[in-house]
């Protein structure tokens, strides 16, 4: 399994997503600073953002501040044209102090166009690793799962970011085995399906069946116990949720039986 980033094998397996949560006005940025500090203090290292998450990239940049080097910053390019992608990257270099640890092509948009300059930047050291994100076929005008496979086989990309939770398991049949075969790292997005798995009908998690005590722990550990997965990036701006998520990341892997019990609860 290829590990994420220059921080090495110690990279904790729960990171922090920023979609919606970090798109904050100046007056509320204090919340992001508190959560990022708490995250770093609790061992979280991977922060996932994107230029299309409203103000999230710059809010994350200011929240990290002098702690930038303690973080593994994953962000994205969403641009059909080369010059637009380059412009997004130049801004990211400014925001994240000259380096992006993982630069991903959002929804595979423009992956053929951008692969060449991104590889050169990786050689120069201004990008640590290259990634691809895929949610669903043609999402927002992006690529298909077949294109994701094609791009993974080029040997250019180090990491993929894909959805995985007990209600979204499309990636299990082909993409996860391919990532394993090619030694590509896997970052899980949407571990709570945008929170819908937590906010809809409350579920009862029986510790004796699942090895977990509550739904968020069960969902995070379910994903992380797939041995093809490296890291998961739940989004939160709630300090108690942040700590609960970070804690779940250091728990032992669940057994196949415990994973099956959790999957049955969310079927």
Ligand X SMILES: NC(=O)c1ccc[n+]([C@@H]2O[C@H](COP(=O)([O-])OP(=O)(O)OC[C@H]3O[C@@H](n4cnc5c(N)ncnc54)[C@H](OP(=O)(O)O)[C@@H]3O)[C@@H](O)[C@H]2O)c1
Residue 132 and residue 240: Cα distance in Å, rounded? 31
To ligand X, the closest distance from the beta carbon of 55 in angstroms equals 14
**Near ligand X in 61-90, by CB under 6 A:** none
Q: What character string, x for contact with ligand X (CB under 6 A) and - otherwise, covers 37-56?
A: -----------x--------
Candidate segments 4-12, 202-210, 231-239, 258-266, binder of ligand X by CB under 6 A: 231-239
C-alpha angle 159/59/85, rounded to 5°?
50
Q: Which of residues 96-155 bind ligand X (CB under 6 A)?
A: 106-107, 133, 135
Does 19 engage in binding with ligand X (CB under 6 A)? yes
Nearer to ligand X, 199 or 255 (CB): 199
Per rule CB under 6 A, is residue 221 in the interface with ligand X? no
Report the residue from 127, 160, 164, 235 that binds ligand X according to the rule CB under 6 A: 235
- Binding residue (CB under 6 A) for ligand X from 51, 143, 234, 249: 234
State the residues that interact with ligand X by CB under 6 A: 17-19, 21, 48, 106-107, 133, 135, 161, 189-195, 198, 216, 233-238, 241, 244-245
């Amino acid at each position: 399994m290829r590990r994420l980033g220059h921080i090495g094998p110690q990279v904790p397996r729960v990171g922090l997503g920023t979609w919606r949560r970090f798109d904050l006005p100046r007056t509320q940025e204090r919340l992001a600073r508190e959560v990022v500090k708490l995250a770093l203090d609790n061992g979280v290292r991977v922060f996932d953002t994107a230029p299309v998450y409203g103000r999230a990239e710059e809010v994350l940049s200011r929240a990290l501040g002098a702690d930038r080097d303690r973080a593994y910053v994953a962000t994205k390019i969403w641009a059909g044209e080369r010059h637009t992608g380059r412009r997004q990257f130049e801004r990211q270099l400014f925001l994240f102090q000259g380096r992006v640890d993982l630069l991903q092509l959002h929804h595979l948009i423009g992956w053929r166009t951008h692969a060449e300059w991104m590889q050169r930047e990786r050689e120069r050291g201004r990008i640590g690793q290259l990634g691809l994100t895929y949610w669903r076929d043609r999402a927002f005008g992006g690529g298909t799962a077949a294109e994701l496979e094609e791009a993974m086989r080029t040997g250019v990309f180090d990491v993929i970011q894909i959805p995985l939770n007990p209600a979204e398991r499309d990636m299990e049949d082909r993409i996860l085995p391919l990532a394993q075969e090619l030694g590509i790292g896997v970052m899980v997005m949407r571990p709570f399906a945008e929170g819908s798995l937590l906010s809809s009908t409350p579920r009862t998690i029986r510790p004796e069946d699942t090895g977990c005590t509550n739904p968020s722990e069960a969902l995070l550990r379910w994903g992380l116990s797939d041995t093809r997965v490296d890291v998961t990036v739940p989004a939160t701006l709630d300090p108690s949720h942040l700590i609960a998520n970070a804690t779940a990341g250091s728990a032992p892997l669940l057994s196949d039986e415990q994973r099956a019990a959790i999957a049955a609860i969310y079927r």
